[in-house]
A and B are shown apart, each in its own frame.
Chain A
Amino acid sequence: MNFSTLTKALSGGLALSAILTGVALADPAVIYDLGGKFDKSFNEAAYNGAEAWKAATGGSFLDLELQNDAQREQALRRFAGQGANPIVMAGFSWTAALTAVAPEFPDTNFVVIDTVVDAPNVQSILFDEHTGSFLVGVLAAMKSETGTVGFVGGMDVPLIHKFYCGYAQGAKAANPDIKLIENYTGTTPAAWNDPVTAGELAKAAVDAGADVVYAAAGGSGLGVLQAMKDAGKFSIGVDSNQNYLQPGSVLTSMLKRVDVAVQNALTEAADDATFKPGLTVLGLANDGVGYAVDDNNKDLLTPEMIAAAEDYKAKIIAGEVTVHDYTTDSACPL
């Protein structure tokens, strides 16, 4: 066998194996955002949704944790090129990468959570975080003895302002005299994974009189929960149910059912017949957002607090109470 036949044989083999992988892989793919698969918060909710889908259907999925922003397009192309379908992405930072890649793979169904990408093969899922945050704001204001409640956001972006704005409106609704302290961990994606700074912000809020602090900060939120536990005060978790992380100190968690969204996406987007490209909004009415009550926090919430939260929930669903959405006009009227 001379060199050229060897090369031909090799390249033939490679091409064949490439085709085989292409055919074999019709598995869906889930790509998490920076912050890590097990951040006990947003990404972990996405992972739990995928695991629930796996348990329910017996299927299998591919997943990937990003290490940095530059990997986004590359990861999408790789999965799409391998034939993964559908591809589910969690995180608002996917806009640019998906806008670029989606037209290149018209036969692949993409689902993106927390941002909107306008393409015929993309389903964009948004949550009404402001209404869920409104409810935990009501609970925070009713729990507070000092009349001051805090907020620690992750990266300073409109989405996180949306959380704050809903929270602030809820707190004001329950107690018009409430004082609010608003902080953000940072201005780069590293702010999702900086528990030390977030904890320091929570301590500063406690020093300024806050006794309930809401952490909407992904992995950084763990530092807030820890700092509030150390101070003997209360915190509010986000995205996943974080009540169990510091039992007795986490007042409640603002649930954002990313897990449900991912599970549904994996089921529906796999088939073009059920795939719903365009915008899907999950809110209070369809249990896309809410607040968590379980054994870890049931002693922290009084029946009056629950009743007030449920009352507002019903009114928001019925349209009697409108919660302003920060992202519509980049302003938060209080």
Chain B
Amino acid sequence: MAEAHPVGFQYVVEAKNRGATVIHIDPRFTRTSALAHTYVPMRAGADIAFLGGVVNYILSNEKDFREYVVAYTNASMIVGEGFRDTEDLDGLFSGYDPELNVYDQSSWQYEGQSDEGQQEGEAHADRETASGLEQESHGPPVPADVPRDPTLRHPRCVYQILKRHYARYTPEMVERVCGVPPEKFLEVCAAWTRNSGRERTTALVYSVGWTQHSVGVQYIRTGAIIQLLLGNMGRPGGGVMALRGHASIQGSTDIPTLFNLLPGYLPMPHHRQHETFRQWVDAIRHPEQKGFWANAEAYAVSLLKAYFGDAATEQNDWGYGWLPRLTGDHGTYQQVLDMIDGKIKGYFLLGQNPAVGSAHGRAQRLGMANLDWLVVRDLFAIESATFWKDGPEVATGEIVPEQCRTEVFLMPAASHAEKEGTFTQTQRLLQWREKALDPPGDCRSELWFFHHLGRLVRERLAGSTLPRDQAVLRLNWPDEEPSGEDVLREINGYDVATGAALSNFTDLAADGTTACGCWIYSGVFKDGVNQAARRKPGAEQDWVAREWGWAWPSDRRTLYNRASADPEGRPWSERKKYVWWDPAAGEWTGYDVPDFEKTKPPSYRPPEGASGVEAIAGDDAFIMQGDGKGWLYAPSGLIDGPMPTHYEPAESPIGNPLYGQGANPARKRYDRDDNPLNPASPVYPYVFSTSRLTEHHTAGGMSRQLAYLSELQPEMFVEVSPALAAERGLEHHGWAHVITSRAAIEARVLVTDRLRPLRVDGRVIHQIWMPYHWGSSGLVTGDSANDLIGIVLDPNVLIQESKVGTCDIRPGRRPAGADLLAYVEDYRRRAEGHDG
């Protein structure tokens, strides 16, 4: 956090000065470790073993916040008889299909629910379309009424299942898998549990390298389980905080430039699951379940009204028939492989540099070299724009400029200072930026570019009667250039008849009278005022600072804050009061906007057979979930299991000490000759990980072009421990090269005790670390760490495993030219022959 989000880290330091204990767990000692009370080094890729050990500590010592757990989580719910755990099946859950590598999830469900089971084909389709991502704000389907045992003694209640699942994650096992000594591990457990409960809360902060694993979603699930067990969710000072790495990466997930989503986490239709409008809407709202997703038809119709305007009518299902349909995996990595195979003609890159920033850089560049055309919109001539003349493959002879057919348009972009608009930062807060000046020369914003691209395409298609051209011709796309505020108003939503801005998503209707571009952002233009532009100085406000910017949904700063009060609506403690029920006024009140219906009392119990919002009881704090509860156990919705389980990374030097099953059995693989994975082999004996430097930003397009930052961190380097330096003959400040089955890259050596060898499963494991910012363009250049990485993905969200892999490291520079290919190939052959 101190390295990549230093300004956010000021609050950690401030909390520390006020008495908070700070613990940092990381394979490498960083600036964060330097300021923490406790630094815990561990093996990259073993996080579930560590956190599962914490769960085991909590449950076997009954350290959970029992009142919170019983009231607000699904601990008491009874799971069906057919469920079998990884403890029974040596690392697999019940329902596994070894041919498709997916689970039939029906046996994971709550008792009485098994007849609604999911078919194997559906599980496969869910993985291909990363449907797990929809649950960012979207509880998966479960019925509202589930058998419960509030005493938590029933052998099939979630609490007992969890306890059995993690019983073997003992301090000794944590040491064996993670390389963390028991006393260090128990110190963390004691601090975390001691600092949680009625009077105190603990925050869990992760950086999104956590998502870059073949079990990434389950890493975060394990953190969420701990925070739920300890009563740290929905309360001030608690939570699971993701530190995201781009100015509006949260916004580009909410208003998704992602293949499988439409704005507000509505799913992009699937050709078989969502053939009709009704199938699509019912798949989102799940007619029988609790919560605000029950109103999804209003969100969906309002989106189609925003898209198609008057052309969206009840008779044509609001234009649903015009939406494109998914048939499987259309994610960025599938796209790149399709480019190599010649299936994709044109590619837009909008402020992103995959030649350096995406896994398997060689595949990225070879894909781009096999397009009809490429449009790069950026501030600088980044590597993804110049690969055809100075990329690494030009040096190896794999790309010859005179033979590379890709036509490239490098379109100069406007910077953040030269346009107005909102970024959504990592806590869901939208902040409006004023425009400081016009962009120089022919630099233009994306707003300008896409407005005019749409206009020009519509001009070219005007008068077409082909069915395929009707959606874009009927699109609500004014001829005049919109301002940022014009678009933000459409995102907020408006009354179709009057054009008046809506004030909240609860105003949305399913009858075509409202239009709304992103339902969860509804309210950002409340009262016709740009709420994201609010700038009341922080010093003039309380600590929640509600008059600065605007947070989705409904300006709530902390999600699920109903849980900050006890089931009767009273603050858990005076010290931790945040949102509570005011019986005299008959409403929820507090420092934040209550994440609950304002006048629904804690005593409210739904009538028999209720569904939707009406079915949320006065103590169902998790109002977006289908059962109103925080999930310790996920009876559906996750592709790779209802509970996090330790699997080894796809590339690991050791077998799984816990189970016969090694890596995540449901991980998404692309078994192709141009995407080899390192076999377990002494040829690749070391573990590597990558992350950011304070002085650079991702693929370097916004940092290696700047003189100050380039001077601060001028050169690609690799960190090794003194022990590994001795083992391999590496010299401090000398050259070394790192080899995997994809590539060999060179870097300067930094010998440092920031990395230390770990004893794992009875042997010594060396880890090496690299930054991933360098490439072939810019003021400072160097080899790209992402070239080392192959493509294997988390099955829930299709994000690559790029934070852990195996490698070798050798002194000296790598071979150049065609010799480099032969060198990498030789390693690969030796590894496959196991004769290294």
Instruction: Tell me if chain B binds chain A.
Output: no
A residues near B (Cβ < 8 Å) are none
B residues near A (Cβ < 8 Å) are none
